[in-house]
Homo-oligomer: A and B are copies of this chain.
Amino acid sequence: MSQIWIENGLFVTMDDSNPSFKGHMVVTNDRITYLGTESPQQLEGSVQKVDGNRMVFMPGLINTHGHAAMSLLRGYSDDQNLQVWLEQKMWPMEGKYVDQDTRAGSALAIVEMLRTGTTAFVDMYDRMDQVAQMVLQGGIRGILTRGVIGLCPQDVQEAKLVEAIAFARDWNGKADGRITTMISPHAPYTCPPAYIERFVQAAHDYDLPLHTHMSETLAEVEQNVKDYGVRPVEHLDRLGFFSRPALVAHAVHLHDSEIELLAAKGVSVSHNPVSNLKLASGIARVPELLRAGVTVSLGTDSVASNNNLDLFEEIRFAALLHKGVSGDPTAIPAMEALKLATVYGAKAIWQQDHIGSLREGMKADFIAIDLEQPHFYPKTDIISHLVYSGSGRDVKHVWIDGRQVVRNGECTLLDEEKIRYEAQASFERLLQA
């Protein structure tokens, strides 16, 4: 039995019944077994004590949309029109990927995510076995899905679907439950309707959730109307997509009726503010989505359109952007912004009973932030400081399933220097290939 006692820390729990307090937390194996202002009762067996002074402890952050392996393409193409970026830059490079590149890119992303306080991430890509292997090694929590583009002959479509299902079935629950899986038609504009229906059927057959890109750009919405007579939300609804637990990424261009439908069907949204700004896709109607009761979470998307994986940055953009755009300085207050990346993030991936808040019985996925820094002074409102002044660089330690995966800013299970080197080598090979 492994036990950790965090002594005299400031705890930001994201549990509304007990939002923050100065006190103690005990972790036994992979779970939080005590939280309180008083010292815990005598603990049996050996206990690792952690001095919590000068630190704030909070739930690990949850990144609900990304493509980790694309980390190799950071800075490779910026400030371009979407079509040039995608068709002339991203796709040709991605087409040259071999397993080692996917592994190298995923490893780099996992290092960056862990160091900046992300403890769980959604990943949609191909060669997902490679990504899953890196999740296993890095100690992070992964919600993984093989993203399938269906613009191909029927036999290739068939093979991809079989692969996506096989991956989802093989890996679901692996790594002591740290890995869960979904299945994913890439987007309504890259998958014919009949093909999307096959995914919906498979999701029913194998009891899997669905994930896809939806209504990211106006052009895509207009094309959907042209091709199928309806906008993407109604299109996916007709195809049965929302009859399963579903997480949609982006959801930038929505009418009121579409927001209502997403709320009614319990669809989760991954809001990707930085990526949407960088690619000039638009600004999602997050205040309206939240008011309608939709579960909104945060994603970075890939670094190719971000260009980093620091979820504190998405939190800050979410808190600030929607104030400026709506003209309402009370839109998305600090606590709500922090929830997007924690409790709502957990709910978006159907894991709110395990992660996203610090409560007794929950999984011990938490981070420690160094408070002794000028940008956290004076000590006024800790939630405000985390949202408006904090950064992933302030993260000092990270635990997932009770295991310390980052210590003093360095990953404990991964060789960071080797990973940086291999990412560079992969990128150079892709350039020349």
Contacts and interface: CB of A to CB of B under 8 A. Distances in A.
A385 B79 contact: no
The contact size tier of chain A is: 35 or more
Decide if the interface of chain A is mainly helix, strand, loop or mixed. helix
Contact of A81 (B307, B308, B329, B372): B329
A420 interface: yes
A333 interface: yes
Interface stretch (A38-46, A70-78, A156-164, A188-196): A70-78
Interface stretch (A107-115, A258-266, A344-352, A360-368): A107-115
Interface stretch (A1-9, A179-187, A276-284, A288-296): A276-284
Interface stretch (A59-67, A134-142, A204-212, A317-325): A317-325
Interface string A307-331: 1111001001100110111111111
Nearest to A279: B329
Contacts of A407: none
A388 interface: yes
A334 B385 contact: no
Given A330-B80, A378-B72, A419-B374, A389 B324 contact: no
Given A330-B81, A333-B79, A385-B75, A323 B277 contact: yes
A304 to B, nearest CB: 10
Contacts of A281: 324
A82 interface: yes
B277 A75 contact: no
Contacts of A81: 329-330
Q: Which of A78, A276, A279, A310 has the most CB of B within 10 A?
A: A78
A97 interface: no
A388 B303 CA distance: 9
A56 interface: no
Contacts of A423: 377-378
Contact of A381 (B72, B78, B108, B333): B78
Contacts of A82: 329
A142 to B, nearest CB: 17
Contact of A282 (B324, B381, B384): B324
A96 interface: no
A49 interface: no
Given A278-B320, A282-B324, A330 B79 contact: yes
Q: Which of A71, A307, A313, A323 has the most CB of B within 10 A?
A: A307
B112 A374 contact: yes
A80 B384 CA distance: 12
Given A278-B329, A325-B325, 12 more contacts: A75-B380, A79-B334, A277-B324, A278-B388, A280-B327, A283-B324, A307-B388, A308-B388, A309-B375, A313-B316, A377-B423, A378-B427
6 contacts: A74-B377, A75-B389, A276-B324, A279-B329, A374-B419, A377-B420
**Which 3 A-B residue pairings sit nearest by Cβ, starting from the closest?**
A277-B324, A378-B427, A393-B393
